[in-house]
Amino acid sequence: MDSPFNSDIKIIKNALLFFGAILSILIIKTLSALLIPLTFALFIGILLTPIINYLERKNWPYTVSISLITILTLGFIFLIGVIVVDTGQQIYDEKEKLLYQMDNKMGEVLAGLEFIPGVDQIEHD
């Protein structure tokens, strides 16, 4: 049987765990601007380590392999940027058509929901 002293210790332990969890969440939320890029960089580093190790086994100098990986990574990021900008430009060029299609789809959705009381009062332009 638990003594009152052990019961008090369990209560204090649980309270400390609860407040520690809240404090941890607040710290992570506060440092998220730092933790997200750091986690992303760590992930990229872990992905690129096997390539660097392979180049070192093939007797490539470390600085050359790091330079090559850096250039390839920056080229890949540039390529992704070009694709994103091109896609954004295409969406912007087709905005009138897309808005018309969205308007038609919204009209179809509202027409399908007219059996719900109050939905018929929603105006659709």
pLDDT of residue 82: 97
* For range 88-115, the mean pLDDT: 88
Q: What per-residue confidence (pLDDT) applies to 35?
A: 86
- DSSP one-letter code for 113: T
**pLDDT for position 46:** 94
Structure tokens at 92: 């912007």
Residue 90, pLDDT score: 94
7 band by pLDDT with thresholds 50, 70 and 90: confident
Helix (H, G, I), strand (E, B) or coil at 31: coil
What percentage of the chain reaches a pLDDT higher than 90? 60
Q: What is the rounded CA–CA span in Å between residue 48 and residue 17?
A: 38
Query: End-to-end CA distance of the chain, in Å?
Result: 72
Residue pLDDT, tens place only, 17-63 = 999 999 999 998 888 889 889 999 999 989 999 999 999 999 999 89
Tell whether pTM > 0.85.
no
Cα gap 72→66, rounded to integer Å: 10
Q: Enter the tokens of residue 29.
A: 């939320």
**Number of CB atoms found within 10 A of residue 73's CB:** 13
Is the predicted pLDDT of residue 105 greater than 80, yes or no? yes
Mean pLDDT of the chain: 88
Nearest to 70 by CA among 56, 43, 83, 51: 51
CA distance 71 to 73: 5
